[in-house]
Amino acid sequence: MLKLGIIGATGYVGAEVVRLLSLRKDIEITTVVSNSFVGQPFSSVYPSLRGLFDKPCDALDIEQIAQKADFFITALPHGVSTGVIPALLAKGKRVIDHSADFRFRDVKVYEKWYKASHPAPELNSEAVYGLPELYRDKIKAAKLVADPGCYPTCCILGIAPALSKKLISPQGIIIDAVSGISGAGRKSELPYSFCENDDNFKAYGVANHRHTPEIEQELTAIAGEEVIISFTPHLAPMKRGMLATSYLTLTEKGLTTQEANELYKEYYKDETFVRVLPVGQLPETKFVTGSNYIDISVTVDPRTNRLVVVSALDNLGKGSASQAVQSLNIMAGFNETEGLLAPALYL
Amino acid sequence: MLKLGIIGATGYVGAEVVRLLSLRKDIEITTVVSNSFVGQPFSSVYPSLRGLFDKPCDALDIEQIAQKADFFITALPHGVSTGVIPALLAKGKRVIDHSADFRFRDVKVYEKWYKASHPAPELNSEAVYGLPELYRDKIKAAKLVADPGCYPTCCILGIAPALSKKLISPQGIIIDAVSGISGAGRKSELPYSFCENDDNFKAYGVANHRHTPEIEQELTAIAGEEVIISFTPHLAPMKRGMLATSYLTLTEKGLTTQEANELYKEYYKDETFVRVLPVGQLPETKFVTGSNYIDISVTVDPRTNRLVVVSALDNLGKGSASQAVQSLNIMAGFNETEGLLAPALYL
Amino acid sequence: MLKLGIIGATGYVGAEVVRLLSLRKDIEITTVVSNSFVGQPFSSVYPSLRGLFDKPCDALDIEQIAQKADFFITALPHGVSTGVIPALLAKGKRVIDHSADFRFRDVKVYEKWYKASHPAPELNSEAVYGLPELYRDKIKAAKLVADPGCYPTCCILGIAPALSKKLISPQGIIIDAVSGISGAGRKSELPYSFCENDDNFKAYGVANHRHTPEIEQELTAIAGEEVIISFTPHLAPMKRGMLATSYLTLTEKGLTTQEANELYKEYYKDETFVRVLPVGQLPETKFVTGSNYIDISVTVDPRTNRLVVVSALDNLGKGSASQAVQSLNIMAGFNETEGLLAPALYL
Amino acid sequence: MLKLGIIGATGYVGAEVVRLLSLRKDIEITTVVSNSFVGQPFSSVYPSLRGLFDKPCDALDIEQIAQKADFFITALPHGVSTGVIPALLAKGKRVIDHSADFRFRDVKVYEKWYKASHPAPELNSEAVYGLPELYRDKIKAAKLVADPGCYPTCCILGIAPALSKKLISPQGIIIDAVSGISGAGRKSELPYSFCENDDNFKAYGVANHRHTPEIEQELTAIAGEEVIISFTPHLAPMKRGMLATSYLTLTEKGLTTQEANELYKEYYKDETFVRVLPVGQLPETKFVTGSNYIDISVTVDPRTNRLVVVSALDNLGKGSASQAVQSLNIMAGFNETEGLLAPALYL
């Protein structure tokens, strides 16, 4: 029985991890750490879990919680993880961190975009970027896995096949993406209130969203040359769900949608959670919300010689919590798909 | 391995049954019957199931499908079930039907409210009302189970403890209830369009909704005397979810909320899927959507000497599909909770 | 040109008043007072008003703002109004206040339900309850008008005809009501966040909501005897809109829906903003959101001998802001309907 | 008093025109023509208009309706307008048509994208593209105005200043846009049902949406050379609202956001309905829904040397109905802004 602690458990990502694991027989959540709800039953914070996970929340006391678990999933704000994770690693724990703190191999990029100095840069070279489809083998043995951002997961998996197969130019990539409101976390701030978001659509972070360099890091690694992208995130009035539309310049003329589709299917043929849709079908977030799947379609636009990739996932699923569980399964030597196969609710 | 056929599989109730069973190892869905999608893969109708349930839809040919399965769940419109189920029963199949056709022990009540003559009234005396919390033993051996309506499940379970313990008068019961739009089924009609429902709230079926006599039948059975209720359903702009607020006249003065709460907890102490909330907490549909749970709160209003019961479930969960699976588990001798314990998504 | 000041102008009620008056030629909003946005253009807080109302927000300095306007609409939290309004009245200003502070003729009722002592009880006997359909004449000359609560407006106008004509018993009235989230005001608190409310439905304030005594006060005045009601509010996932379903016991048997409908039409025949729907049509909030109309339907349920009244309005319209403007029109001697006739957006 | 007929009046665009004009003193809607609701009061189809516009719907009898009005707004499906409008013009009527039939100066482009032959190509050379900000003078005298599509209005007004001032290259333009569901019209089809759209986001018409050539026609006219664009529309779960994010390649390096903003402000300095937002503020659909305004922001991304333009309007407002009214005002010699200044509801 794997013993797992969750730190930052009462945010939406943490709570989704609890939901995903609440019925697992091979994993026991031994501690849920929360800043705001110490001593309160987890199910009083998330009554959906009443009778399923009633354990009270613990305070963040590394000594105490280190005794309770061997693995930790941390879902803390950026800049906070760095204060917690070195201590856990020092005690031999294995950690999956959902902050951005350990996602960047070049700490300077992190420091520039996150406007903060990084207190533990040495850990970044050790940390593995937790995208199983790209780094499965490294995750297996990792002590520290940096769970990718939601936008990066959605965009990188959508572009990787075309880029790695040199179908497209690494230059001029434009990604226009949309997230449900839960991407901001469990926030009690006016911009995330119901009335300000219902029936409303907006762009944000134009030309400066922090997921931009994370996407660029991975696309650069795939392309073997520097990739600079235009990336614009938007907020749609829905709780969960993310969809990215990527505009990619084809390197040669004449490629058909059918051919692009087959190349994508071939690329992902062993990946359970990446579903390349048949030609003519486009992703919708309701096909994936609540699940660990990502759906991808490819369309060649011969008029502009571009490949338009649409990819969709659940920002709380493959975009964060269930992807963290996927990495946990890999690290622990479980079947990678254990507990993660359930389909989206659709409605 | 239990072999199950689903008739009317591409409606929302049918599709939810498929979702719930798609990962079960002890049940195989051997045929999905659909009027509109014969020959098409089920996952092309519900792409959320791509890779999980791709079987093509079958036509409604009793001879053919009877060879494929021993159990059937039928999710057909009222009046259509009566044309299909007798034939299945005649072939020794066991059936859980989600229409209203077999819910009424007195066929005349059905004929009056549904404005139709009933072609197989003899089956109604044999059919068991599929509310496990009330009729578990009868369901075990039943050949034909009538899966209750969503409103009736929500209201009956909310009122049963108070009524059976004579806490309240059987007279003057008023129930005000709200459903998500999926309660109407998968409809391509203007009244169910996005634009007509988003950000909109309305009442419907005032003083004449067909679930009224179904609720009355069961409350009458509990009370041991005729119960006539006022029942008003409403539509809220949400996909799933149902909440009923019941106004009940206390038989004596002085009962406290605390006492009522304890009586309810005692009444349901062995029921996994009925959660009586602690005093001070009220149900919300997000605590139960996607699950088989029903949450109930009780509040005594000493000013009016009424007991106000609020109960919430998922109309596609405990209100239809997952309740049908619960009955299926019972009929098949499986653990009653098998595959049904998963909590709501919350978001 | 009437000079108007709005205090608490950046809340949703205040902003709706600004929206309603932004194009009026006969009223000039000379000051908008806000706690949080002093010095900022109103249109930076509500960019929908860019180019239409860009005036910067003023601080709450009674001396200063009193020089700017003759009429004031105050939309302040309960308990705060009492600290501001006496000073305005002392300077000869006429005030429409949207808090509950001056709605109760019996200050003890206020103090009990609002758990606060009232610092200016003498003003309550002078204040007029701002429901024009009931108190038009008194409003005309009033110095202080207490703009009614949203639920009370919706319920009182729905029940008044039946009660005043003795069609129904004053005993046993039950009201089940639903509000859009904006009823809570412009809140940056978790319970009002998008993710916690979208696709969710819940009851709140069961047996203790503060609008209960306000409804009772007015129904008692109409009935001429004490009226005690059961009132349960709910929150639906929509920005605006309110709908109440009232269960009323008919005093005699045999009344038809048609007759009740005609009585209601007769009662409201001179009221522009109260629309009694034809038999067979039920209110929906989208018929009234954004407007000053209230739609009402009546249905006789002969099985239970009850009259079921469904009434719908916009909680930010007839339930608060536009009703305040209606009172302002009356007080100022304008045409009562001036600037208020615009229909709902429907979508 | 201008006499106006509306053909296709019970669709969402037609109903929005009725809403906008229902209180005008200078325009009388003398006939509303509907296929499905002949003889029924308009307010029974849109109860929001009860008491405001109760006129019954007329059948489409050109002889009859031609006697009733001098101006017509037609909101008919593409391909249907061509069968109605020539007859109206022949009778000397002036027409604003909301279909695509007369938007294309090159009929072959229409025939290719709409897969239909055009029965009255000679009218296209006479028709004026009804974008007042570009064609005000021509609209004044036009007999036939082709009301632009919603996406084209949103995109063209967003790109026009940069393109006409040669700030950007006419090559490589990419537009990613989002619409509320009402953009599809008043549809009783499953893809537009509440349950299939609520909390869901999707792309559609990738690389083949019919608004593409309409945008290209106008951008080509501005650029003075052929413009080919990538355009991807999406559907967001909201009733109204449209937002486009345009990616434009700057012709020179070094332009700042501030400079681009000032150029845009200068370009639109005389346009009441185009609001260039201050640097740092981005459009949201709630700032414009229900109104005739379009909000635009510009951001220079120095990393990619692109100008990112975000523009937002109401697809039923500036994107169709209120823009038609704007053209009507111009054609009739009224003040262009008459009846159109009202701000968005915000909530």
Taking only the tens place, the pLDDT of each residue in A101-129 is 999 999 999 999 999 999 899 999 999 99
The percent of residues above 70 in pLDDT, for chain D, comes to 100
> Parallel, antiparallel, or unpaired for β D27-33 and A128-129?
unpaired
* A285 half-sphere exposure, CB direction, 13 A CA radius: 33
Contact D23, C341 (CB under 8 A): yes
Radius of gyration of chain D (CA): 20
* C8 half-sphere exposure, CB direction, 13 A CA radius: 22
- To test the contact with chain C by mutation, choose from B150, B196, B199 the residue with the greatest count of C C-beta atoms within 10 A, namely B199
Under an 8 A CB cutoff, do C347 and D12 touch?
yes
Nearest-CA distance from D332 to chain C in Å? 23
Q: What is the mean pLDDT of chain A?
A: 97
Tokens of A276: 């390349």
Tokens of C337: 């309907």
Neighbouring chains of B at 3+ CB pairs under 8 Å are A, C, D
- Please state the φ and ψ torsions of residue C241, each to the nearest 5 degrees: 115, 145
Local structure of A142: helix, strand or coil = coil
Tell me what pLDDT residue B19 has: 98
CA distance C187 to C207: 24
CA distance B184 to D195: 10
Assign B7 a pLDDT band (cuts: 50, 70, 90): very high
Residues of chain A contacting C, Cβ within 8 Å? 12, 181-182, 186-190, 192-199, 237-239
Q: Residue D24: which of D317, D346, D337 has the closest Cα?
A: D337
Tell me what pLDDT residue C170 has: 98
Residues D8-34 have a mean pLDDT of 98
Contact C173, C230 (CB under 8 A): yes
Tokens of A270: 């062993």
Residues C300-316 have a mean pLDDT of 98
Contact B319, B154 (CB under 8 A): yes
Tell me what pLDDT residue C90 has: 97
Residues D276-288 have a mean pLDDT of 98
Mutual orientation of helices C107-114 and C211-223 as an angle, nearest 10°?
A: 150
Q: Residue C329: which of C12, C73, C98 has the closest Cα?
A: C73
CA A154 to chain CA mean position, Å: 8
One-letter amino acid of A136: R
Contact B4, B72 (CB under 8 A): yes
Q: Mind listing the domains of chain D with CATH numbers?
A: 2-147+320-332 (3.40.50.720), 151-313 (3.30.360.10)
User: Other CB atoms closer than 10 Å to residue C269's CB: what's the count?
Assistant: 9
Nearest-CA distance from C6 to chain D in Å? 18
Q: Which residues of A touch C193 (CB under 8 A)?
A: 181, 186-188, 192-194
CA distance B233 to C290: 25
Tell me what pLDDT residue D318 has: 98
Taking only the tens place, the pLDDT of each residue in C207-232 is 999 999 999 999 999 999 999 999 99
Contact D24, D339 (CB under 8 A): yes
Contact A93, A67 (CB under 8 A): no
Q: What is the mean pLDDT of chain B?
A: 97
Taking only the tens place, the pLDDT of each residue in B264-297 is 999 999 999 999 999 999 999 999 999 999 999 9
Taking only the tens place, the pLDDT of each residue in D184-214 is 999 999 999 999 999 999 999 999 999 999 9
**Reduced to 3 DSSP states, what percent helix, strand and coil does chain C have, rounded to the nearest 5?**
35, 20, 40
Question: Which residues, 6+ apart, have CB-to-CB distance to A70 below 8 Å?
Answer: A2, A3, A4, A93, A94
Tell me what pLDDT residue B4 has: 98
The percent of residues above 70 in pLDDT, for chain A, comes to 100
Tell me what pLDDT residue C49 has: 98
Tell me what pLDDT residue D84 has: 95
Contact D127, D152 (CB under 8 A): no
Place of tokens 């009026």: C24
CA distance A343 to A329: 18
**Whats the size of chain A, residue-wise?**
347
Catalytic residue among D150, D154, D155, D195: D150
Tokens of A215: 């996407």
Contact D30, D69 (CB under 8 A): yes
Contact B320, B313 (CB under 8 A): no
CA distance B178 to A61: 45
One-letter amino acid of B59: A
User: Other CB atoms closer than 10 Å to residue A240's CB: what's the count?
Assistant: 29
Per-position b or e across C122-146, b if 16+ CB within 10 A of its CB = ebbeebbbbbbbbbeeebeebbbbb
CA distance B148 to A269: 43
Tell me what pLDDT residue D147 has: 98
Local structure of C336: helix, strand or coil = coil
Residues β-bridged to residue C308: C247, C299
Residue of B nearest to D194 (CA): B194
Contact D180, A180 (CB under 8 A): no
Nearest-CA distance from A152 to chain B in Å? 22
CA distance B181 to B191: 10
The CA-based diameter of chain A, rounded to the nearest angstrom, is 63
* ipTM greater than 0.95: yes
CA distance B230 to B248: 11
Mean pLDDT check: name the lowest of B51-55, B153-157, B184-188: B184-188
Neighbouring chains of D at 3+ CB pairs under 8 Å are A, B, C
Tokens of A7: 């730190």
CA distance A90 to A254: 55
Tell me what pLDDT residue D140 has: 98
Tell me what pLDDT residue C252 has: 93
Tell me what pLDDT residue B295 has: 98
Is the torsion defined by CA of A131, A132, A136, A138 positive or negative? positive
Number of H helices, E strands in chain C: 12, 13
Place of tokens 């025939």: D111
Place of tokens 């949203």: C150
Q: Give the residue numbers of A marked as catalytic.
A: 150
Name the helix (H) or strand (E) containing A94: strand A94-97
Nearest-CA distance from C176 to chain D in Å? 23
Q: Residue B295: which of B265, B263, B320 has the closest Cα?
A: B265
Tokens of A140: 């297996």
Which pairs with CB-CB distance under 8 Å and at least 24 residues apart come from B139-142?
B139/B327, B139/B330, B139/B331, B140/B330, B140/B331, B140/B333, B141/B331, B142/B94, B142/B331
Question: Which residues, 6+ apart, have CB-to-CB distance to A108 below 8 Å?
Answer: none
Tokens of A247: 């505009």
Taking only the tens place, the pLDDT of each residue in A176-227 is 999 999 999 999 999 999 999 999 999 999 999 999 999 999 999 999 999 9
Tell me what pLDDT residue B291 has: 98
Q: Residue D292: which of D328, D332, D330, D319 has the closest Cα?
A: D319
Residues A84-95 have a mean pLDDT of 97
Q: Which residues of D touch A247 (CB under 8 A)?
A: 174, 176, 230, 247
User: Other CB atoms closer than 10 Å to residue B103's CB: what's the count?
Assistant: 25
Q: Which residues of B touch A341 (CB under 8 A)?
A: 23, 52
Tell me what pLDDT residue D286 has: 98
Contact B237, D194 (CB under 8 A): yes
Assign D340 a pLDDT band (cuts: 50, 70, 90): very high
- Please state the φ and ψ torsions of residue D333, each to the nearest 5 degrees: 80, 15
Q: Residue A149: which of A132, A135, A130, A162 has the closest Cα?
A: A130
Q: Which residues of A touch B295 (CB under 8 A)?
A: 47, 50
Please, is A340 exposed, middle or buried when counting C-beta atoms within 10 Å of its C-beta (0-12, 13-18, 19+)? buried
Tell me what pLDDT residue B171 has: 97
* Partner residue facing D195 (CB), from B195, B199, B239: B239
Place of tokens 């409303």: A200
Distance from first CA to last CA of chain A, Å, rounded? 34
Beta strand extents in chain D (DSSP E only) = 2-7, 27-33, 71-74, 94-97, 128-129, 144-146, 174-179, 202-203, 230-235, 242-249, 274-276, 294-301, 306-313
Give me the DSSP letters along A72-86: EEE---TTTGGGTHH
Residues D245-258 have a mean pLDDT of 97
* Partner residue facing B47 (CB), from A47, A53, A287: A287
- Please state the φ and ψ torsions of residue C320, each to the nearest 5 degrees: -165, -80
- To test the contact with chain D by mutation, choose from B189, B195, B198, B240 the residue with the greatest count of D C-beta atoms within 10 A, namely B195
The percent of residues above 90 in pLDDT, for chain D, comes to 98
Assign A165 a pLDDT band (cuts: 50, 70, 90): very high
Assign C174 a pLDDT band (cuts: 50, 70, 90): very high
Which DSSP state fits A341? Answer: -
Active-site residue, D155 included: no
Q: Residue A46: which of C181, C196, B280 has the closest Cα?
A: C196
- Predicted TM-score (pTM) of the model is 0.98
Contact D344, D149 (CB under 8 A): no
